[in-house]
Structure 1
Amino acid sequence: MKAILLFSAAVAFVTAPLLVPSFGGFDPTAFPYPPVDPPVQPAGYAFAIWGLLYLWLLAHASFGLLRRADDPAWDAPRWPLLVSLGLGAIWLETATRLPVMATLLIWVMAGGAMLALLRTPPAPDRWLLRAPIAAYAGWLTAAAGVGTGVVLTGYGILSPVTAALAMLALVLILALAVQMRCQAPEYGAAVIWALVGVLVANAAGTPVVAIAALIGAGIIAAAVWAAMSRAKPGPARRS
């Protein structure tokens, strides 16, 4: 049953952009202080990762339904992932009208994705079980910080640069906590992809944010390396 529900949620999630094809981020006019080109937001090319995530998550749900419907290892992450994808199916429509609500939703989506990731085993079926969930969770970790930074700027709570730096720090803390608990380089890679996008977007106009993003990406890369090093079996001892 969970496999069927997850597959249905994945299909709804993947097809949601067809209903809101023109979405390009929160509408600046929806805020008291319109955030135009907020420094917390990655360069536009970075959002192309959604194409990979949609295909990978759909492959995960399809394979899980057809070949691993009753497998305990596949069953463990299904409920939190189902919540995340189910909310994701309505996120775009919500974001076009209610950016604050959409920001709250994406934090729940990110939390569900991270919990699902932490429930996955490193093997077997790694490339269809852990890897797609890891990449999805990594991107949502960054996206939740970006959305929050835009809202904080749009409501005049923080200046654009302060909001960007604060959210980069928050994303870094969360990403390190998750990455060090699981040997999933796809998670860190997705976070790094987002941080490099922030670097590119700010390299010319806001160097302090660009430098912070570069440092954050370097720290996450080191955490990925450390996590993967711990996962490698040590040399066999001679008896």
Structure 2
Amino acid sequence: MKIRAIFLLCLAILFAMTPLMLPGFDGYDPEDFPVQILRPAVQPAGYAFSIWLLIYAALILHAGFGLLARDMDPVWDRPRGLLMAAMVCGILWVAFAEDLPVVATIVILTMLAGLLAALRQTSAAQDRLWLMAPVALFAGWVTAAAGAATGVTLAGLGWLSDTAAAVAMILAVLVLAAAVQWRLGRVPEYGAAVIWALIGIVAANWGLNATVAWLALAGAAVMLAVTLLAAARGRAA
């Protein structure tokens, strides 16, 4: 167990250093797609990506606390493998995103599947802040990011229009995120990350694409309601 805790901390630090290794990275290059869309509607405004700073810090604190205080705890050890796999996928996503966006989209969907599985295994209520909250924050943002990446890919390949891809992915993310949040109960970090992404989509499309902006705003309101209701349900349980 201890060696896995050590590996998780090292990988969390490496994961946080990824932007430093690729300082010019700015996501998918429109020129890599048959249909070039300079500003995909499903993509949040640039400021929204600052949440990664919080995610990196939370993951390092999670891994550090786990190594120092919970290195031999089986509850903490259970999600470590999946969490490490998700971080490796995150590093690979950055490596593939600029030149191989379709491959990168498959990678981020795999990353999401691993994170949701890891989140299911973080069930120690007494360590909710240290164990579950960082993973939930990470999983919430990747839920939205996977939807955005898929939307950009669908529109870029010409399978859907830019607006149709954004609408489809906002609805898909909302259905998945609401179901996950309802199951989690008192873990608002997951819902908060999804809401942050949806508000970022509103900001990016306000005054440019009313359909996407209003749908994302409605989605954020629905997600907020689900998060609050799930928390109330968790307290009552």
Query: What TM bracket, shorter-length normalisation?
Result: over 0.9
Deviation readout 1:155-214 (Å, 9 max, x if unpaired): 111000000000001101110111111121000000000000001111111011011101
| Deviation of 1:122 (Å) | 5.2
Q: Which amino acid aligns with 1:195?
A: L
Could you tell me which of 155, 166, 169 is aligned with 1:167? 169
Q: 3-state DSSP class of the match of 2:184?
A: coil
Q: 3-state DSSP class of the match of 1:105?
A: helix
| Deviation of 1:8 (Å) | 2.4
- Say which is worse superposed, 73-82 or 117-126, in terms of deviation: 117-126
Q: Would you say the 8 A contact 1:81–1:113 is kept in 2?
A: yes
| Deviation of 1:233 (Å) | 3.7
Aligned to 2:180: 178
Matched, 1:189 2:192: yes
| Deviation of 1:126 (Å) | 1.9
Aligned to 1:211: 214
Query: 1 CA distance for matches of 2:135 and 2:168?
Result: 26
Structure 2 spans left out of the alignment, 5+ residues: none
Q: Would you say the 8 A contact 1:9–1:89 is kept in 2?
A: no
- Say which is worse superposed, 172-181 or 157-166, in terms of deviation: 172-181
Map 1:122-161 to 2 at 5 A: 123-161=125-163
Query: 2 CA distance for matches of 1:44 and 1:143?
Result: 13
Aligned to 2:22: 20
Q: Aligned residue pairs: how many?
A: 234
| Deviation of 1:79 (Å) | 1.6
TM-score by length of 2: 0.95
Query: 1 CA distance for matches of 2:226 and 2:118?
Result: 20
Query: 1 CA distance for matches of 2:71 and 2:44?
Result: 37
Deviation readout 1:42-63 (Å, 9 max, x if unpaired): 0111000001101110111111
Q: Would you say the 8 A contact 2:75–2:124 is kept in 1?
A: no
Q: Which amino acid aligns with 1:187?
A: Y
Map 1:43-58 to 2 at 5 A: 43-58=45-60
Q: Which amino acid aligns with 1:113?
A: L
Deviation readout 1:104-124 (Å, 9 max, x if unpaired): 111111111111111112522
Q: 3-state DSSP class of the match of 1:157?
A: coil
Matched, 1:229 2:211: no
Aligned to 1:237: none
Q: Which amino acid aligns with 1:20?
A: L
| Deviation of 1:72 (Å) | 1.8
Structure (1 or 2) with the greater helix fraction: 2
Q: Would you say the 8 A contact 1:152–1:158 is kept in 2?
A: yes
State the identity %.
Answer: 49
Could you tell me which of 190, 193, 200 is aligned with 2:203? 200
Q: Would you say the 8 A contact 2:41–2:166 is kept in 1?
A: yes
Structure 1 spans left out of the alignment, 5+ residues: 235-239
Map 1:7-156 to 2 at 5 A: 7-121=9-123, 123-156=125-158
Query: 2 CA distance for matches of 1:107 and 1:6?
Result: 21
| Deviation of 1:125 (Å) | 2.3
Q: Would you say the 8 A contact 1:142–1:194 is kept in 2?
A: yes
Q: Would you say the 8 A contact 2:79–2:121 is kept in 1?
A: yes
Query: 2 CA distance for matches of 1:132 and 1:141?
Result: 14
Q: Which amino acid aligns with 2:121?
A: R
Q: Which amino acid aligns with 1:169?
A: L
| Deviation of 1:5 (Å) | 2.2
